[in-house]
Amino acid sequence: MAVVVKERVQSRKRSLGKAKALQVGMPAVDPSLPVNQILRGDCIEQMRALPTASIDMIFADPPYNLQLGGDLARPDGSHVDAVTNDWDKFDSFAAYDAFTREWLAEARRLLKPDGSIWVIGSYHNIFRVGAILQDMGFWILNDIVWRKANPMPNFKGTRFTNAHETLIWASRSEKSKYTFNYRAMKTLNDELQMRSDWVLPICSGQERLRNKRGAKAHPTQKPESLLYRVMLATTNPGDVVLDPFFGTGTTGAVAKRLGRHWIGCEREEGYIEVAEERIEMALPLDETALKTMQSRKSQPRVAFGQLVESGWIRPGAVLSDRKGRYCVTVRADGSIMAGDDSGSIHGIGAKLQGAPSCNGWTFWHIEHEGQVKQIDALRQLYLLATED
């Protein structure tokens, strides 16, 4: 037992060391914020104690107020686990709407001017939440359909199989300059624009947390892949993410992995116990792994001549298009020469094709380390090599 405890302590120290390393170069956090902590108690009361305009992003998985109308059973008669907890029960739609307005008012106060909020729900509640969001001045940016790759069947056969949940992504206001890591999402999606329908599996297998009795620790545990995509898309390392309905800590575990700070609100001690153990075991990614593709707008501007003067592409090197139809020679000043014509990588590329314009970075290729690559690939290598 002593050996096991010692190993856990050493593992914890390594984890803390990595986490501290991630703070280098990250934005400063308000010292009054209880970051990386679970706040016990009612979420509205806990949110009221936090400073105004201190949160970068909120992810909320509020009670769904399910209207089930009795127990669910499989064809073999076995009971289907559903949300029957007291925290999901409201006397009326009016009571649910009042609760929603109350916690959203605090969410709006806590968000920074350029912050954003995500709310996930089912058909029972998401439309009510969406209307209230708009009434309160939030600006809806997208509704995301999380299509479950392995949904629970409709055992009664009286309705369509409920195979998705809806997420609403909204900025604090219409004028908010919210974070959206477009290039990171495109890279994650094999260089295709990320769409608003996400096919991801529900929690199952080893990811599904169990309590000491072996039962599901939480009836609506969200998969880490969902939070990973949300956080990677709309936050940056060092940002503070608040989850008012923390549950078993998916938000905290993913935030820790991605180098974000987190704050969770939770009133159920059983969930808190599971969440604390889960987050304790989560290891943050190292700093190199956290680097994501930047948007074109946020990347430092690099001229082709910079690659020439820095030696990444040498004067006299030959560039060609992907099919080898055109060949040009690089000159010392960063221009390229095709016969008697010379000019920029873009201008010569357009002229040779008889086209109105040309993106020379993707049109021209060069042999590098035994492979023929777009010169844009060398630009990306140059950017990585010159980062602080």
- Between residues 196 and 311, which one has the greater pLDDT? 196
Q: What share of the chain is helix, strand, coil (3-state, %, to 5)?
A: 35, 20, 45
Within the chain, which residue ranges are assigned CATH 3.40.50.150? Answer: 37-67+83-289
Determine the number of helices (DSSP H) and then strands (DSSP E) in the chain. 13, 14
Q: In Å, how far are 272, 316, 343, 348 from 321, measured between CA atoms?
A: 58, 16, 16, 12
Record: fold of 37-67+83-289: Rossmann fold (3.40.50)
- Of 97-101, 104-108, 156-160, 230-234, which gets the smallest average pLDDT? 156-160
Give yes or no for residue 11 having a pLDDT over 80.
Answer: no
Q: Is 254 left (phi over 0), alpha (psi -120 to 50) or beta?
A: alpha
Which residues does 40 contact at the CB level (< 8 Å), separation at least 6? Answer: 46, 266, 267, 269, 272
Confirm if 172 and 118 have CB atoms less than 8 A apart. Answer: no
| pLDDT tens figures, 136-157 | 999 999 999 999 877 878 767 7
Task: Give the residue-averaged pLDDT of 174-194.
Answer: 90
Task: Give the residue-averaged pLDDT of 345-368.
Answer: 93
Model confidence band, residue 203 (pLDDT cutoffs 50, 70, 90): low
Confirm if 262 and 251 have CB atoms less than 8 A apart. Answer: yes
